[in-house]
Amino acid sequence: MLDAKVVKLLNEQINKEFYSAYLYLDFSNYYYDQELNGFGNWYMIQAQEERDHAMLFLQYLRNNGEQIHLDAIAKPDVELTGNKQVLEAGLKHERYVTSLIHTIYEAAYDVRDFRTMQFLDWFVKEQGEEENNAESLVKKYDLYGSDPRSLYMLDSEMAARVYSAPSLVL
């Protein structure tokens, strides 16, 4: 059995990951409405990844004989007011998720739950990649977003992103 505090945090993370998926679906819809279909595609895939992250947390709890507690998923609370603002909101959100993963890791470390720490190692690495990707999008938008031709090329680059399921072994 896992430590009760760790289980509580892992259950909460399931909900946070599903919220992230909702948030990124909202971002995707925003960009599709702007006819920036590449950006829409990029965030649609991001939403799929977040859903898969939730399922990995769920399966980890199930594999360890723990009860799953699903809560209501809140409506995204980010007001989408501009192309760059959405990208910045994505970066801010990824930094927030990183802090959540670190909190769970710290709780597992405090009780010497090495199995959970090993499970979370993948997420620590993944969050580093997520933050780098989000920061890169903001920087690219800063460089190219004000020029319509460059924005078109950036949108085309983002349209090329394809979904790849996580390769974490539980």
Domain ranges of the chain: 4-159
Span 4-159 CATH architecture:
Up-down Bundle (1.20)
Amino acid identity, residue 53? H
Distance from the first to the final alpha carbon of the chain: 16
Express each pLDDT in 34-57 by its tens digit.
Answer: 999 999 999 999 999 999 999 999
pTM, two decimals, is 0.94
pLDDT in tens, 65-122: 999 999 999 999 999 999 999 999 999 999 999 999 999 999 999 999 999 999 999 9
120: which 2 tokens? 């979370």
d(CA 133, CA 37): 18
Q: How far is residue 54 CA from its own chain's centroid?
A: 10
